[in-house]
């Protein structure tokens, strides 16, 4: 049995909201290719529809499941309780692997925004990425409260430049920003699919924030408040950033290539471009640290079930953080920063969507298995309603994958890699279960 965490060493709602914001979003950085991929009208429609179809059902599912079981391991424990150890292994394995792809994106973005100040930084991509990875590892080993405090600071650094950018844009346009009619118009289906991948990636991770629920003060209430607060901020900052870009008249290809610092420079000069670039650096660093916080708890609970080496369960004697898991995650991510940004997004979303689908199945199954279990937050739907709700994010997932397949020249390699990784779950399960003597007809 793990020792309980003192209240002084637990996250409070504001800190949790900041960690959730950085886990899911970290600002609109990484959204820059959207206008070039889909065009302004389709981009706006994707930004409006995706949160409703992809995120809102996920947030409701996370809130109900987390209110039932606010425990370390989050989604792994939910799937284990609802579907058994075999599917829990798939959930943990797929999530662990998709998060490696996700984590590898942020040091690469860090270098991209650092290049605004030092154009030659790309030549030193690998050592800079490694510095970000291992500095974040040290911060995470120090415990969850330092991560929460740093997340508050980094969150402010991310949001303030866009508040300034929005204010200047309003002044430049006489207090009125034009709003194109959201529509898919003449955007090809393959472009919509790739645009969906971009938007979906910028809206994933709500379930990741529950893996350390036992380290949150009053977790049920804190998650309820913090999740919705973070969702509102994420949606608002994305929408504002895209509207500013459309009104500024920046070429979509320039925005995709040079990022939001170029937009800041166009609207407010070099000083604002610099501020936006600093925000991008803070976003990449904060996202990496926050996502590492969530994924490092999964090997810990899988090791408890003898699905991974017991050493991963080891907690730091002083800071009580799963430091061996953090180090192992950092080692793997150090080898993945050679992938391109676009390829990592395809791998990331393909794996994440499969794991998310298991969580929805577990949600429905637990309504059958444990109908009377206390649920401080309960979705006001029966099992059929929950199944229909689950079809919304699943349909978005299938639509994105279909679009990616149609654009196979750019996506075939990461898609094949992601599908092979999904299939590896069963292979590794067979090896692990036989070794541990866990294989039975009931799993």
pLDDT of residue 74: 84
pLDDT (0 to 100) of residue 270:
94
Please tell me the predicted confidence (pLDDT) of residue 120: 87
Q: Give me the pLDDT at residue 246, please.
A: 95
Give residue 193's pLDDT: 87
pLDDT (0 to 100) of residue 156: 84
Whole-structure pTM over 0.75, yes or no? yes
Integer Cα distance of 255 and 272 in angstroms: 15
Could you give the domains of the chain?
7-436 (1.20.1740.10)
Centre a 10 Å sphere on the Cβ of residue 316 and count the other Cβ atoms it contains.
Answer: 14
H-only helix segments in 84-183: 85-114, 125-141, 144-172
Beta carbons within 10 angstroms of residue 315's beta carbon: 15
pLDDT of residue 439: 47
pLDDT at 147: 67
What does R_g of the chain's alpha carbons equal in angstroms?
21
Q: Which residues contact 16 (CB under 8 A, 6 or more apart)?
A: 148, 209, 216, 222, 223, 226
- What are the C-alpha distances in Å from 192 to residues 241, 338, 403, 404, 412? 19, 27, 7, 9, 17
Q: What is the pLDDT of residue 7?
A: 55
Going by C-alpha positions, the residue among 412, 58, 417, 37 that lies closest to residue 198 is 37
CB atoms within 10 A of CB 209: 29
pLDDT in tens, the chain (443 residues): 445 555 556 778 888 888 788 778 888 998 999 999 999 999 999 999 999 999 999 999 999 999 999 887 888 999 999 999 999 999 989 988 888 888 888 898 898 899 999 988 888 989 999 999 998 888 888 876 666 677 778 878 888 999 999 999 999 888 888 888 899 888 888 888 889 999 999 998 888 778 777 778 888 888 889 999 999 999 999 999 999 999 999 999 999 989 999 999 999 999 999 999 999 998 888 778 777 877 777 777 888 888 888 887 788 888 878 888 889 889 989 988 888 888 888 899 999 999 999 999 999 999 999 999 999 999 999 999 999 999 999 999 999 888 878 877 778 888 898 999 999 999 999 988 887 765 444 44
């Amino acid at each position: 049995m793990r020792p309980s965490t003192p209240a002084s060493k637990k996250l409070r709602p504001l800190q949790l909201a900041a960690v959730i914001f950085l886990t899911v979003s970290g600002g609109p950085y990484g959204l820059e290719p959207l206008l070039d991929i889909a065009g302004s009208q389709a981009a706006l429609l994707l930004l409006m529809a995706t949160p409703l179809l992809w995120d809102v059902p996920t947030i409701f599912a996370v809130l109900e499941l987390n209110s039932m079981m606010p425990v370390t391991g989050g989604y792994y424990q939910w799937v284990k309780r609802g579907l058994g150890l075999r599917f829990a292994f798939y959930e943990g394995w797929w999530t662990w692997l998709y998060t490696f792809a996700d984590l590898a994106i942020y040091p690469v973005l860090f270098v991209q925004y650092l290049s605004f100040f030092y154009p030659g930084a790309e030549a030193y991509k690998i050592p800079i990425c490694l510095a970000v990875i291992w500095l974040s590892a040290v911060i995470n080993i120090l415990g969850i409260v330092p991560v929460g405090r740093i997340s508050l600071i980094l969150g402010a650094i991310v949001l303030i430049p866009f508040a300034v950018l929005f204010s200047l844009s309003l002044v430049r346009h006489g207090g009125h920003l034009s709003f194109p009619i959201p529509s898919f118009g003449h955007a090809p289906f393959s472009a919509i699919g790739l645009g969906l991948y971009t938007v979906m990636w910028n809206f994933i991770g709500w379930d990741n924030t529950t893996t350390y629920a036992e380290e949150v003060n009053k977790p049920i209430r804190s998650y309820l408040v913090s999740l919705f607060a973070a969702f509102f901020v994420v949606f608002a900052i994305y929408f504002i950033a895209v509207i500013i870009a459309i009104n500024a008249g920046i070429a979509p290809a320039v925005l995709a290539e040079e990022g939001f610092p170029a937009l800041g420079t166009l609207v407010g000069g070099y000083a604002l471009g610099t501020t936006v670039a600093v925000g991008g650096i803070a976003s990449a660093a904060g996202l990496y640290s926050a996502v590492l916080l969530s994924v490092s708890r999964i090997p810990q609970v899988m090791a408890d079930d003898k699905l991974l080496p017991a050493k991963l369960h080891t907690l730091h004697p002083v800071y009580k953080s799963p430091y061996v898991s953090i180090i192992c995650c950092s080692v793997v991510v150090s080898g993945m920063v050679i992938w391109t940004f676009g390829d990592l997004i395809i791998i990331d979303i393909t794996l994440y969507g499969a794991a998310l689908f298991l969580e929805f199945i577990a949600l429905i199954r637990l309504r059958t298995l444990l109908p009377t279990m206390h649920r401080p937050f309960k979705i006001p739907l029966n099992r059929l309603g929950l199944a229909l709700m689950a079809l919304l994010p699943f349909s978005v997932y299938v639509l994105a994958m279909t679009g990616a397949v149609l654009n196979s020249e750019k996506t075939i390699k990461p898609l094949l890699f992601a599908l092979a990784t999904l299939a590896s779950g069963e292979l590794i399960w067979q090896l692990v279960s036989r070794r541990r003597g866990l294989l039975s007809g009931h799993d």
